[in-house]
Structure 1
Amino acid sequence: MADDIDAIFARIGFGYWQLIATAAANLATAALAPALIGSTLTNAQVQYRCQETGTLNTTEGFDNGCSRSSELVIDMQTVSNTTQQTPTIYETSNSVSNTSCSSWEYDTSVFTSTITMEWGLICEDAWLSSLYQMVICAGCMMGDVVGGAFGDRIGRTATLRYGSLVVVAAALGIGLLPIYSLVLVCRFALGLTLSSIMYPTFNLVIETTPTSRRTVVGMILCSPFSVSVVIFTGLGYFLRDWRTLHLASSIFAFLLLPVSWVVDESPRWLAQKGYLEEAKDVLKKAARYNGATLPPTEELDKIMQKLAADSEQTSAESKNSSLGDLKLIFSNRPMAAIVIITPLTWFLMSIVYLGIPLNVNNFGGNPFIYVALTGVMELVPIIVGVAFSKRFSRVPVMSISFFGAGLCCLVVTAVTEEMWWLRWILVMAAMVMISTALTMNFIWATELYPTVIRSRGSCSCSLGGHFGFFITPFITDFLAMRFLWLPNIILGLCGVVAGTLVFFLPETKDLNLCETMKDVEDRWKAGKCKQSTELRNLGVLSYVKSKDDSSENSAIGGNYRH
């Protein structure tokens, strides 16, 4: 069944019809960027001091103090015609006692308003400041579970449309609500819905893209995040009020809502669910939009009938193929390896990926330049990675990227602050490497999981990734308070471990997408996979369909890779 569908999409090609879904996926990814890393500017750490009242505080500069110091001086005044003395108490700047502050002044030379400033999230309330970043990561983790289930059950487009409505409401709530607890609720909802819609939408694009274009399209889908980071930093430079910056950077979320209602459902998903007529209608629309021709009606009907015959078996497997069904998963060796290792690599990768930009407060330097450069570094793998990924397989690219990022983070701990230029080079090199791994991991996760559990499989990877995002603030904020060098050590070790784990995953470059878990197991046992080869002159692909593992194969431009 995989070959038949891939052959049809090879004839349809990649054109205007796929661009609609690609636009939706790009907007979802772009909307996630300011939500995920926006706290670097909207909740930036600022200097503060006890607010002066009269002569209560004569401290010059911002000392980040949570109490004021004063000396009590008693002037005994004799009250006339009595023997009682009434003391006059006043305070001087000489420090002999401490008094807790009731209000603070903030350094507004860089940011006029931040989350911390508005609600006074410092001193004993400093832990509340970290919740702003943590709740959206918690929402993303929950969204991975919800998005995977809904993406496979109600469809890719339904998940996208209904989720977009919640995204807009949550984004407006964050920018307008005056109560911090309600802002946190909206942050959680924003993370939940963005995560829920991003991966099903990503799968929709990959499932409708010809195999020869999959790598290029997959890497293009990752570029909006990097572009959005750079745009967000530019907006932050001119908009120093956190509410204004948040609403302005939510433009991608607002644009996603109308676009989501013109996206067609994935024909692969429709076929898996037995909606064969609907799948055929979508394929006809795709061919019409792209100016392509489908196979003759008789042949197309024959393919649909074959899909109908396979749909009952596929549907039965789908019902039993939940990632929670351990017996089914672990009886299939390659699927067990995929299900265990991929979320773990995503967890480790995400700690490094988010830890580098969040570590700006410990790294020093201009925060706008630092965050903007991390976004620019993310574009490098997309610009040069297309040709690189076509030449090399998934496993070596991923391993080198992980090892490179980890080693750069480890080495930077040994570089002194006087060699600031070398520290910047190492950090940005680590960002390039980990961005390469992230870009390829989006594509690889989609290729590793079969259609019956692709959304849930991809979202399980995202769940591991967002759990890594969730604990990253603990590393960059709390641990750094005690050991400033520790965050980079942890980031480095995460990269090295992830680079080792990828060797246990199967190679998928230039291979057709699997439809069922049995396809994954058969490909593993046979020790050989079909490889599609592009006909350079015609710009289309021909696929091989074998009758069994021992039969001879014939194809136009096709071969086997052992």
Structure 2
Amino acid sequence: MDLEEALKLVGEFGPYQKRAVAVLVLTQVYMACQSMLIVLVGFTPEYRTEQQHQQQDGVPVSQHVTFTENVDSIVTEWFLIKQQAYKVSLAGSLFFAGLLIGNVVFGPLSDKIGRRPVYLTGLFFEVVFGYVTAFAPSYEVFAASRFLVGLMNGGIGLVCFVLTQEYVGKSYWAMTGTLTSMTFAVGIALFGALGYLIQPWRSLATAANSSGVLFFLLSVTLPESPRWLYSQGQAERAEEVLRFMASRNGNAVKHLMLQRVGVSKAGNHKSRGAGVLQLIIHPVLRLRTMVLMYGLTLDWRTIRTNSQFEFVLAGALLSVTSLALVGKLMVSAAFNIAYVYTSELYPTVIRHESHLSYCVLVVCLCVSQRALHTSMPFTVFCLSGLSAGCLGLLLPETLNRPAAETLEELGSPGLGRVLESKVSRKKHLSDVTMVNLENQKQEKLMS
């Protein structure tokens, strides 16, 4: 049997898969806390400066800084104010720089050596570097640890997302992918509540990082992705994982044997050696990557609440803020769907590389937004959104269709474009109707 048939026999979303997915999804809470850590630990309270000593010409020699708020943060500990204030933003930028590099490095690495070892190694070192952040003796150590935490966070975030889908049947990919994004948002809210309860920044960093220890211990028992094993030609190991899942689901599966047709395909060195370059070399992947990269983002700092921007339209009072929030809602929905859709469009052997374009795209758009006039970003976002919707018609429909495991399967006739798929389905239905009519005529003649 093929992999999808085997998963139906094992249980596409049985009790064991539910527990495994729950562990991976809840890990997003820990990752969200690490992503938002600098927002609270880097808070700058109100302060005043007093001149202590003056020279005869009146030029101050030294100043005494007094913080008027009782806040414990990296700003108050290392006096990151005035000329040193940029260091707070620098620490946040280092985290997201590590996030980008982690996606670029860990994604292809997991496609080569496996999802499980990359995920466990990344999570382990993120916890280690997270404790380095909490006990950093100086700002330099703190900043370096934030970069390393971001490096691991970006890598395991991608692997974690793919694992939540490769453990279950394809019909549950949309649900598990959406749960991953939703849980990350919930983690941000929970981190805000945690910051309210725990004020000292070192205690907050320690508490936020300690949950990673629990998730690492729970993740140690997770098996390797059966889809990845099968795509690499390791059908025997894939069968072992599937039998293990079946036993935990309460399904007695004794004679489970996967098709060996994927062995020769997975052993194609040309396909496996190119890695991320397949996004450019392969004609099908090149088109899909160009269309999917045509996304958009919306910076929350562009949302303004000034009443002078309010206007009346069709008798209803609208504001730029409400319109921006609706736009942000749609962007978030499209981004979530694009993540799930991308996993369905790309084969297992190169699935991680397909998500790299989002990181590069977000960085480019953020840079362009700072360089352009204030009205230009929204014009660019509007035009890119409209054109992206049109270009999406060039992509195939993936609903209720098998996922490709190898690059060779991308050329199968069932993976046409959306418009072509509708025409082909109508033609198929008409052909089936004609066959049924012919059969009815033959039955009447026979009778």
TM-score (norm 2): 0.80
Task: Provide, for residues 478-532 of structure 1, a one-character-per-residue CA deviation record: whole Å limited to 9, x for no partner.
Answer: x8xxx9x93x86367436524532432413333321122333333477558999x
* Whole-angstrom CA distance in 1 between matches of 2:380 and 2:36: 22
Q: Deviations over 1:205-235 (max 9, x none)?
A: 2122223222222211222111111111112
Compared CA separation, residues 144 and 466, structure 1 to 2 (3 A): farther
CA distance in 2, matches of 1:469, 1:237: 33
Structure 2: state its 5+ residue gaps. Answer: 312-316, 422-430, 433-447
What is the Cα deviation at residue 238 of structure 1?
Answer: 2.7
Aligned residues of 1:47 and 1:106 also touching (Cα < 8 A)? yes
Indicate the RMSD between aligned Cα atoms, in angstroms: 3.6
Contact residue 320 and residue 328 of structure 1 kept, 8 A: no
Bigger shift: residues 172-181 or 422-431 = 422-431
Amino acid of the structure 1 residue aligned with 2:401 = L
Give the structure 2 partner of residue 40 of structure 1.
Answer: 39
**Secondary structure at 2:137 match in 1:** coil
Counterpart in 2 of 1:291?
250
Distance 1:233 1:426 in 2: 26
Distance 1:216 1:277 in 2: 29
After superposition, the C-alpha distances for 1:81-135 in whole angstroms (9 at most, x for unaligned) are xxxxxxxx697xxxxxx748644233426xx022333222232223222111111
Contact map agreement 1:26 1:224 (CA 8 A) in 2: yes
Report deviation, 1:271.
1.3
* Contact 1:136/1:190, CA 8 A, preserved across alignment: yes
Q: Which residue of 1 aligns with 2:207?
A: 248
Q: Deviations along 1:43-82, whole A, 9 cap, x unmatched?
A: 234333323549x8xxxxxxxxxxxxxxx9xxxxxxxxxx
Aligned-partner residue type, residue 443 of structure 1:
V
d(CA) in 2 for partners of 1:413 and 1:249? 41
Matches within 5 A, 1:380-529: 414-415=309-310, 422=319, 425-458=322-355, 460-464=356-360, 467=363, 471=367, 475=370, 486=374, 490=377, 493-494=380-381, 496-505=383-392, 506=395, 507-523=397-413, 526-527=416-417
Aligned to 1:157: 116
| Residue type at the aligned position of 2:309 | A
For this pair of structures, how many residues does the alignment match? Answer: 414
Alignment match, 1:199: 158
Displacement over 6 Å in runs of 4+: 528-531
1:436–1:151: structure 2 CA closer, same or farther, 3 Å change rule?
Answer: same
Partner residue in 2 for 1:13:
12
Which runs of no fewer than 5 residues in structure 1 stay unpaired?
A: 57-71, 73-88, 92-97, 365-410, 532-550, 553-562
Deviation, 1:253, is: 2.0
1:310 has 2:253 as partner: no
Give the one of 147, 158, 164 matched to 1:188: 147
Distance in 1, matches of 2:183 and 2:322, equals 24
Larger Rg: 1
| 2:221 aligned counterpart, secondary structure | coil
Is the partner of 1:104 in helix, strand or coil?
A: strand
> Aligned residue for 1:339?
289
Q: TM-score, normalised by structure 1?
A: 0.65
Over the matched positions of the two proteins, sequence identity in percent amounts to 22
Which whole-Å CA distance do the structure 2 matches of 1:220 and 1:513 have between them? 20
Does 2:50 match 1:51? yes
Matched, 1:119 2:101: no
The 5 A counterparts of 1:28-177 are 28-51=27-50, 53=52, 99=60, 102-108=63-69, 112-177=71-136
The structure 1 residue matched to 2:137, chosen from 178, 187, 191, is 178
Match of 1:393? Answer: none
1:390 aligned residue? none
1:342 counterpart letter in structure 2 = L
> Secondary structure of the residue that 1:209 maps to in structure 2?
coil
Structure 2 matches for 1:353-392, cutoff 5 A? 355-356=299-300, 359=301
After superposition, the Cα gap between the structure-2 partners of 1:184 and 1:100, relative to the gap in structure 1 and judged at 3 Å, is same
Question: How far apart in 2 are the matches of 1:344 and 1:412?
Answer: 33
Give, in angstroms, the shift of residue 412 of structure 1: 9.2
Aligned position for 2:226? 267
Quick check: which one's helix share is greater?
2
Q: Which residue of 2 aligns with 1:82?
A: none
Instruction: Give the partner amino acid of 1:315.
Output: G
SS of the counterpart of 2:412? helix
Determine if the alignment matches structure 1 residue 235 to structure 2 residue 235. Answer: no
Q: Deviations over 1:130-183 (max 9, x none)?
A: 111111111111111221122111111111111121011111011111211111
Separation in structure 2 between the aligned mates of residue 495 and residue 28 of structure 1, nearest angstrom: 34
Partners of 2:169 and 2:203 in 1: CA distance: 42
What is the CA distance between 1:26 and its match in structure 2? 1.6
- Separation in 1, partners of 2:275, 2:234: 21
